[in-house]
Amino acid sequence: MADAPKIDEVTGTETTGHSWDGIEELNTPLPRWWLWTFYATVVWGIIYMILFPAWPLVSGATTGLLGFSTRGEVAAEIERVELSNAELTRSLTTVDLAALPANEDLHRFAVQAGRSIFAANCSQCHGAGAAGVVASGYPNLLDDDWLWGGTLEEIAYTVRHGIRNEDLDSRYSEMPPFDWMEDEELDQVAHHVRSLSGLDHDAAAADQGAALFVDNCSSCHGENGLGNRDLGAPNLADAIWLRGGTHEAILRQLNAPRHGVMPPWGERLGEAEVRAVSAYVHGLGGGEAQIADPATDKGAEDAAAVPDATYPARAGETPEEAGADDVAPTE
Amino acid sequence: MASDAPPLFAARQPIFPRRVSGTFRRLKWAILIVTLGIYYITPWIRWDRGPNLPDQAVLVDLANRRFHFFWIEIWPHEFYFVAGLLIMAGLGLFLFTSALGRVWCGYSCPQTVWTDLFLTVERWIEGDRNARIRLHNAPWTARKWRLRMTKWAVWLLISVATGGAWVFYFADAPTLLRDLVTAQAAPVAYLTIAILTATTFTLGGLLREQVCIYMCPWPRIQAAMMDPGTLTVGYREWRGEPRGKGGIRRRKVAAEAIGGGEAAARYGAALDKDSAAPRTSHSGDALGDCIDCHACVAVCPMGIDIREGQQMECITCALCIDACDEVMAKIGRPRGLIDYLALDDRPPTQPGEVADVAAFSGTPAGHVSGAERPVWAPKPVWRHIFRPRTILYTVAWSAIGVFLVVALFVRPDIDMTVAPVRNPTFVTLSDGSVRNAYDVRLRNKHDEARPFLLSLSADEELSVEVQGAADTVVEVPADSTRRERVYVIAAPPDAAAGRERTEIRLWVEDGVSGERSFEDTIFNGRESFDERSGSAG
């Protein structure tokens, strides 16, 4: 910078003094307001560093004088939402489950909450779409077939206590292995089971198997193979197969029965969330209406399997999407 | 050498534009009144839409996600109307820029309009150019404080009104005004007003031309869109140069003939009216029409000298044309020394030649000395405006406009979208029937609730159900969307239950008007089963 400043003749502005093949650069000064704005941003940055988390440290960062943290904001937000939902949560815990679907607002709240609970806790086995996994024996929750009952109360009980676990009240049953039978006998039973729901089968073998079925299977599955929900014995006469309906799959299950396990959610989730997720599952398309006492009336079992159409025909109650913004314009 | 180091910043050179009157000033007044009038009045126009909808003619209803414009209502899924309008605005700017240069900047840019308004206030309170320069240089006396405070107070009022009018576009104006004055409006309303007040005051009052020079990208873009045939504000240097103070030789001659300087003064003015006469300087050199009076510089809100040629700063507000025309009239020269001109529109001769000036002003060439010179006249204005380029822009602009208008009138009042549920693709029910689920959105654009009847047409025997409902009639509230889960079921003997995919068509019918709309979708049967999804067994 020892040289005297060079002035550009045309503009009268000083140049930077550099020259590239005769091309020189003007050193046009900044507008004053621009410089002030720049200084203001520097000052703002310093104040921000003091007040807010700024400098990364080895573990964590400086906290800033205001003690702001995004995690704290989330906690506060959750607390706020829980507080505003406290009333609904309390009524959900105490309401008679049979009456829940008729209580529109509460039901909508339960289904909405249940969707999140399902996604966080249930979808790992039953799938995000609740369609289950045949290969692993996770039941499909969308259809109208229920192992342990499809009313709201029965679903809530299953969620609360689970299936085949350490909970003393859990659903429990066990199918014994029939590997002591002759292979031919097992084959005949399998043909009979397939005949129950009208699948392809060997008629002669099925006839033989019918007697074997009555002797060995009907105590749980019933003489006509309609199953028994008290025992979680599946209905063998419908089109739905928990572990596959092929001849091989049936033989596999006869030889070495596999049993599904579901953890008890009652303590972990709490009663309100158990009820919420039950309402969600109940609304997935196969939920059954509450009837007098399905367990004592074997004949009513199939009647109970009819999808419910008695709920108030409140529009906008789709299981996936129903929400508080339903009536308001949503797009 | 520290003292020789360039300064870190350059202070703004204050600009004190002088008042001017003329054709373009009147045009600018008219545009200012119309645009500001539209801006301030529009939110207060009422429009009856029935009991369920807002009765504000122009309303951006963010809470309900609707845009109301008189009889038109735009839903979010119709945002292409807004996109189309933005494209039209862009093409419109291209069109105007290629035809008339930075005409947007000069007349209708909000920065220009509000700066103009603020300058008017400034002139009204502090006086015209010379008074303001004196006040600027004066020490801070009580009078200066009083004038400055008055000016700033009025500016602040305008700024608050500007920000205030903006928020009325987003809520019911009378209600919001009442809430605002009773301190019950939403904080965001006050915040918006505060921010817009600050920006209006700063940009319109304090920064003014610096916004155009330093902040706005449009001047650079526009420079690239102009061409030599574009009409823009310019100085006819071939007519004005060499500039200088001087008179007409004949004035001297005549005055001397009559009897000296006194007569010259008396008759000089009359002689000046003879536009064909050449001007000369006192030393006898031939002069152009520019008398170097700096009127064009004094009125310029950007503080530039248009005679230096095309400049980035020039917003083509045309006030220099008015100023120069006034001077030309006084000295008896044809108007238009500074004028809307195209850069390629110049006579094929040397600058400063009188013959061209005369020809330009419409005087018959024979009247001028040197009739052998070619007669020249600038291309008529329409030849600058109707060029292939501008016609192309106009065609594109109109095509989008026609498309939007047609789209506006053919859009249905009922609407449906169907999203098949893919997780899982189908569900087997206990009786062996196959069920598919669809998320159906039903839109009712009427201002009353309507029953929507869902039905199905397909080659197969399929039934349709609405989740949780006994029938397939859905009551959709006024002006809203209803989401329903709809089931389509194929009984076991039906071919569709087994086949991988069956094309179906869902119909929705307005129970009141009978209007129908359909959506094609797919029904998945058992053969679409993927072992891994485990959706059936």
Q: What is the mean pLDDT of residues B523-534?
A: 64
pLDDT band per the 50, 70, 90 thresholds, residue B459? confident
Q: List, as ranges, residues 211-240 from A with C-beta within 8 Å of B.
A: 235, 238-240
Nearest beta carbon to residue A143 from set B423, B427, B466: B427
Say which DSSP state B17 is in: P
Q: List, as ranges, residues 197-256 from B with C-beta within 8 Å of A.
A: 207, 210, 214
- A285:B427 CB<8 A: yes
Give, for B120, the enclosing helix (H) or strand (E): helix B110-126
Give the pLDDT of residue B318: 93
- Angle separating helix axes B23-41 and B142-167, nearest 10 degrees: 50
pLDDT digits (tens, 9 = 90+) for B118-174: 999 999 999 999 999 999 999 999 999 999 999 999 999 999 999 889 999 999 999
Give the pLDDT of residue B437: 94
Contact predicate A132/A126, CB 8 Å: yes
CB count within 10 Å of CB B366 equals 7
Nearest beta carbon to residue A2 from set B1, B422, B479: B1
pLDDT band per the 50, 70, 90 thresholds, residue B351? very low
Mutate to test the interface with A, among B62, B467, B471, B524 (most CBs of A within 10 A): B467
Report CA-CA distances (Å) from B478 to B336, B446, B452, B503, B518. Answer: 61, 6, 12, 32, 20
| List of chain B residues whose C-beta atoms are within 8 Å of the C-beta of residue A315 | 466, 468-469, 474-476, 482, 484
- B430:A235 CB<8 A: yes
Euclidean distance between CA atoms B211 and B485, whole angstroms: 54
Structure tokens at A14: 């000083």
pLDDT digits (tens, 9 = 90+) for B479-501: 888 899 999 999 887 788 888 88
| List of chain A residues whose C-beta atoms are within 8 Å of the C-beta of residue B535 | 131-132, 140
Give the pLDDT of residue B276: 53
Q: Model-level pTM?
A: 0.73
Whether the CB of A10 is below 8 Å from some CB of chain B: the reply is: no
Q: Has residue A23 got a pLDDT over 60?
A: yes
Say which DSSP state B379 is in: P
pLDDT band per the 50, 70, 90 thresholds, residue B243? confident
Q: Has residue A292 got a pLDDT over 70?
A: no
Q: Find, in chain B, the residue whose alpha carbon is nearest to that of A1.
A: B1
Whether the CB of B183 is below 8 Å from some CB of chain A: the reply is: no
| List of chain B residues whose C-beta atoms are within 8 Å of the C-beta of residue A242 | 537
- A1:B76 CB<8 A: no
Residues above pLDDT 90, as percent of chain B: 49
Lowest mean pLDDT among A241-245, A300-304, B312-316: A300-304
């100023």: which residue's tokens?
B323
Residues above pLDDT 90, as percent of chain A: 58
Long-range contacts of B184-189 (CB under 8 A, 24+ apart): none
Q: List, as ranges, residues 507-536 from B with C-beta within 8 Å of A.
A: 531-536
Q: Find, in chain B, the residue whose alpha carbon is nearest to that of A34.
A: B9
Residues 6 or more apart whose Cβ sits within 8 Å of residue A247: A190, A191, A194
CB count within 10 Å of CB B477 equals 19
pLDDT digits (tens, 9 = 90+) for B302-326: 999 999 988 889 999 999 999 999 9
Q: What is the mean pLDDT of residues A121-139?
A: 91
Give the pLDDT of residue B241: 80
Give, for B52, the enclosing helix (H) or strand (E): none
Q: List, as ranges, residues 283-302 from A with C-beta within 8 Å of B.
A: 283, 285-286
Q: How far is B443 from chain A (nearest CA, A)?
A: 9
Which of A57 and B350 is assigned the larger pLDDT?
A: A57
Q: Find, in chain B, the residue whose alpha carbon is nearest to that of A329.
A: B480
Give the pLDDT of residue B233: 93
- B492:A145 CB<8 A: no
Please provide residue A30's backbone torsions phi and psi, each rounded to the nearest 5 degrees: -70, 155
Q: Has residue B411 got a pLDDT over 70?
A: yes
Whether the CB of B31 is below 8 Å from some CB of chain A: the reply is: no
Q: What is the mean pLDDT of residues B176-181?
A: 92
Q: Find, in chain B, the residue whose alpha carbon is nearest to that of A16.
A: B6
Give the pLDDT of residue A175: 93
Structure tokens at A310: 């008695």
Please provide residue A324's backbone torsions phi and psi, each rounded to the nearest 5 degrees: -65, -25
Whether the CB of B410 is below 8 Å from some CB of chain A: the reply is: no
Q: What is the mean pLDDT of residues B517-527?
A: 89
| List of chain B residues whose C-beta atoms are within 8 Å of the C-beta of residue A321 | 439, 483, 485
- B537:A140 CB<8 A: yes
Q: Has residue A316 got a pLDDT over 90?
A: no
Give the pLDDT of residue B424: 87
- A129:B432 CB<8 A: no
Q: What is the mean pLDDT of residues A34-49?
A: 94
- On whether ipTM exceeds 0.85, the answer is no
Q: What share of chain B is helix, strand, coil (3-state, %, to 5)?
A: 45, 20, 35
Whether the CB of B409 is below 8 Å from some CB of chain A: the reply is: no
Which of B49 and B3 is assigned the larger pLDDT?
A: B49
Give the pLDDT of residue A308: 41
| List of chain B residues whose C-beta atoms are within 8 Å of the C-beta of residue A14 | 6
Q: List, as ranges, residues 139-178 from A with C-beta within 8 Å of B.
A: 140, 142-145
Q: What is the mean pLDDT of residues A1-7?
A: 65
Which of B535 and A41 is assigned the larger pLDDT?
A: A41
Give the pLDDT of residue A162: 95
Torsion, Cα of A134, A139, A144, A147 (10° steps): 120
Q: Has residue A297 got a pLDDT over 70?
A: no
Q: Find, in chain B, the residue whose alpha carbon is nearest to that of A250.
A: B537
Give the pLDDT of residue B194: 95
Domains (range + CATH), chain A: 1-49 (no CATH), 93-170+261-304 (1.10.760.10), 183-255 (1.10.760.10)
| List of chain B residues whose C-beta atoms are within 8 Å of the C-beta of residue A31 | 9-10, 12, 210, 214
Report CA-CA distances (Å) from A35 to A42, A81, B201, B356, B449. Answer: 11, 46, 20, 50, 59
pLDDT digits (tens, 9 = 90+) for B233-242: 999 888 888 8
Give the pLDDT of residue A309: 37
Q: Has residue A321 got a pLDDT over 70?
A: no
pLDDT band per the 50, 70, 90 thresholds, residue B4? low
Whether the CB of B309 is below 8 Å from some CB of chain A: the reply is: no
Q: Find, in chain A, the residue whose alpha carbon is nearest to that of B210.
A: A31
Structure tokens at B260: 């000296």
Q: What is the mean pLDDT of residues A60-81?
A: 91
Q: Has residue A302 got a pLDDT over 90?
A: no
- B441:A331 CB<8 A: yes
Give the pLDDT of residue B393: 94
Residues comprising chain A, all counted: 331
Euclidean distance between CA atoms A111 and B290, whole angstroms: 83
| List of chain B residues whose C-beta atoms are within 8 Å of the C-beta of residue A138 | 534
Euclidean distance between CA atoms B296 and B300, whole angstroms: 6
Q: What is the mean pLDDT of residues A121-138?
A: 91
Euclidean distance between CA atoms B16 and B486, whole angstroms: 71
Q: Please choose, from the candidates B96, B148, B100, B117, the residue with its C-alpha nearest in 3D space to the C-alpha of residue B28.
A: B117
Structure tokens at B218: 């449009």
Domains (range + CATH), chain B: 23-225 (no CATH), 231-385 (no CATH), 414-528 (2.60.40.10)
pLDDT band per the 50, 70, 90 thresholds, residue B285? confident
pLDDT band per the 50, 70, 90 thresholds, residue B330? confident
Euclidean distance between CA atoms A259 and A139, whole angstroms: 12
Q: How far is B536 from chain A (nearest CA, A)?
A: 7
Q: What is the mean pLDDT of residues B31-58?
A: 91
Say which DSSP state B3 is in: G
Q: Please choose, from the candidates B504, B450, B456, the residue with its C-alpha nearest in 3D space to the C-alpha of residue B481.
A: B450
CB count within 10 Å of CB A105 equals 10
């240069």: which residue's tokens?
B101
- B65:A135 CB<8 A: no
| List of chain A residues whose C-beta atoms are within 8 Å of the C-beta of residue B12 | 31-33
| List of chain A residues whose C-beta atoms are within 8 Å of the C-beta of residue B439 | 318, 320-321
pLDDT band per the 50, 70, 90 thresholds, residue B261? low
Q: How far is B338 from chain A (nearest CA, A)?
A: 24
Q: Is the peptide bond before B219 cis (omega within 30 degrees of 0)?
A: no
Average pLDDT, chain B: 84
Q: How many CB pairs under 8 A join A and B?
A: 170
pLDDT digits (tens, 9 = 90+) for A164-218: 999 999 999 999 999 999 999 999 999 999 999 888 899 999 999 999 999 999 9
Q: Has residue A31 got a pLDDT over 80?
A: yes
Q: What is the mean pLDDT of residues B428-453?
A: 90
Lowest mean pLDDT among A48-52, A92-96, A252-256, A309-313: A309-313
Whether the CB of A137 is below 8 Å from some CB of chain B: the reply is: no
Task: Give, in degrees to the nearest 5, the angle at Cα A108 between A106 and A110.
Answer: 70
Q: Has residue B250 got a pLDDT over 90?
A: no
3-state secondary structure of A61: strand
Q: Has residue B364 got a pLDDT over 70?
A: no
Q: Has residue A17 got a pLDDT over 70?
A: yes
Q: Has residue A1 got a pLDDT over 50?
A: no
Q: Find, in chain A, the residue whose alpha carbon is nearest to that of B421.
A: A129
